[in-house]
Amino acid sequence: MRISRDGADRPVFPPQVVVEIKALACELPTQRNLPFSRFSRNEIAREAVRCGIVASISGTTVWRWLSADAIKPWSYRVWIFPRDPHFAEKAGVVLDLYQGLWQKEPLGDDDFILSADEKTSIQARRRIHPGTPPAPGRHRRLEFEYERAGALAYMAAWDVRRAKVFGLCEKTTGIDSYRRLVDLVMRQEPYRSARRVFWITDNGSSHRGDTSIQRLSQWYTNAIQVHTPVHASWLNQIEIYFSVVQRKVLTPNDFNDLIEVENRLLEFQDYYELAAKPFKWKFTRENLTQVLEKLSYDNYEQKAA
């Protein structure tokens, strides 16, 4: 492949070469019988020369072209594709609640939405040597070695519209632990005398299936269980709060015992609420339709290939 030069400027490649290199970058190395999992920019350049797309090209040029379209074949993320045949229907119910709708009717002021789940196996790691605080020109230092001081589960519920957190710590998860969380919320106002209290949960063993729906309504007649689809924890707003807890409370993990872990978690609830606001949830049914259509198209393309 011939290239032209304009004075001292970098080589000018024909547009077709740019297109072919970008297409190459969007392939998996194994599709070309290469013995590795991810392309680097230099490996893309070498493969482009090997298969005759160009006579020579630098990794920097490849990187510049890929950056223009935000193509990063050296990066990846773990993904679970939705396999529930009723995914859109179940997810739509949750998204409607976030938009203030239930069965196409607006929620009232005496309706409440709670997003609940459990964070399991939170360890207390007792460091074998005291750490040091940050100082000018020096990061905080944390001893690498530690002793395990047990683990607990953190059960929590987030009021979607009021930005309030309710939580407790248990030795393990299960129906009884979930019941105690529900009692913690439903025995106080305004939930006790609310018209309806919607509990959004995943399909974990503590609150799974139609049996859980019936059980919750027996516990409290104004409580309604709403399940997210399987593999859709991102629809549950409590996971946003759990991510805050992970970053602000549990990382780095340096606790003497489980009592210290529990106290820190419960005290953080009060601290967080001082400045908490409802999460700005913008993902709607329309967005969900677009995502599912794209995933369906991607799956079709992979099967066709």
pLDDT range class, residue 78, cuts 50, 70, 90? confident
Strands 101-102 and 105-106: antiparallel
User: What number of other Cβ atoms are within 10 A of residue 100's Cβ?
Assistant: 14
**Pairing state between β 196-201 and 223-227:** parallel
pLDDT at 36 over 90: yes
pLDDT(300) > 90: no
Q: Are 146 and 183 in contact (CB under 8 A)?
A: no
Token digits of residue 169 = 């710590």
pLDDT for res 84:
84
Taking only the tens place, the pLDDT of each residue in 148-196 is: 999 999 999 999 999 999 999 999 999 999 999 999 999 999 999 999 9
Q: pLDDT band at 83, cuts 50/70/90?
A: confident
d(CA 70, CA 179): 47
Instruction: Express each pLDDT in 185-229 by its tens digit.
Output: 999 999 999 999 999 999 888 998 999 999 999 999 999 999 999
Q: Which residues of 188-202 are buried (b: 16+ CB within 10 A; e: fewer)?
A: eeebeebebbbbbbb
Q: In which band, very low, low, confident or very high, does the pLDDT at 295 lie, cut at 50, 70 and 90?
A: confident
- Closest to 239 measured CA to CA, from 170, 298, 154, 174: 154
Residue 140 Cα distances to 101, 131, 133, 207, angstroms: 47, 8, 5, 41
Torsion of CA 86, 175, 113, 88, to 10 degrees: -10
Given a cut of 50, whether residue 1 has pLDDT beyond it is no
Give residue 10's pLDDT.
Answer: 64
Task: Please tell me the predicted confidence (pLDDT) of residue 48.
Answer: 97
6, pLDDT greater than 60: no
Question: With bands split at pLDDT 50, 70 and 90, how would you rate the model's confidence at 127?
Answer: very high
Chain segment 226-252, per-residue pLDDT in tens = 999 998 989 999 999 999 999 999 999
121 has pLDDT over 90: yes
| β-strand pairing of 146-159 with 164-170 | antiparallel
